[in-house]
Amino acid sequence: MSQSAVSAERRLQQGVLDAYTATRRFLIRGKRQPDVTLGSLLTPVIFVVLFGYVFGSSIIVPGGNYRSYLMPGLFAMTVLFSAANVSVAVATDMSEGVVDRFRTLPIARSAIIIGRSLSTLILGIPVLVVMIVCGLAVGWRADQGLPNAILAFLLFELFGFAIGWLGILVGLLAGSAQAADVIVNIPIFLMGFISSVFVDPSMMPAWLRVIAYWNPMSALVTAGRQLFGNTIGPPPSGVWSLEHPIATTFALAMVIVIIVAPICVHRYSHSIR
């Protein structure tokens, strides 16, 4: 093996180790913020109560069981909100001098940003577990079996991982944590509510229905409903993303990661030179 190849292999190994260390750091930091953790765990309970019982009594959906229709949408919203959390966290690091401290460390430039992404994904798992427990408590069931349910949750986590990179990009570009919070929450709420997460888009006005049908959140939620076996009816004719929601969600998540992750690493590396 040539000297350059050996050097590249060592750099790769060191980069992986640095990313692991950064991920561990962010996980420990998250554990030491009980107020943030408690708020994240309470949010699923509030969503289930509000939409399952307060609003759900007046909403008609395919299959007639609103809470079964709702739960895959709430799983999707849970991973979507993680993008807002990571965006604010990255913007805070950028504005409070944390990056200056990282600059003095002999670590790979990509390690910190990769660690932030992985730790956000891991810290979101307990929230998803609480959401599952809430869903089971209100009568939701995964009727297609455990393997399909696991596949559905892996798809949710993959999409959340991809959206997290978009959140990181916003955090890197925003001038402050407050700006990042505003910038990231506007598209999150639009993506969440103009979709099939909470209601059947066929009940929307024609112009809004088209947006909802082609919203990536609708594809993600439809994939979840198919894999869980929750009754949703046939997909709208001519909407390829809803006719093939699993393939659409997987492909979109991979495209986002492949394109956005290198941009985030480059932007972060440039900011600490």
Domain ranges (residues) in the chain? 3-271
Higher-scoring residue by pLDDT: 121, 12: 121
pTM exceeding the 0.75 threshold for the entire prediction: yes
Q: Higher model confidence: residue 116 or residue 224?
A: 224
When pLDDT is averaged across residues 231-255 and rounded to a whole number, the result is: 89
pLDDT, average across residues 4-33: 73
pLDDT for 211 equals 94
- Token pair in block for residue 75: 């799983």
Instruction: List, in sequence order, the alpha helices (H) in 96-215.
Output: 98-103, 109-137, 146-173, 177-193, 206-214
Instruction: Decide: 242 and 235 in contact? Cβ < 8 Å.
Output: yes
pLDDT for 135-149, tens place per residue? 888 888 888 889 999
> What band does 116 get if pLDDT is binned at 50, 70 and 90?
confident
Given a cut of 90, is residue 269 above it in pLDDT? no
Reported as a pLDDT band with limits 50, 70 and 90, residue 103 is low
Residues across the chain: 273
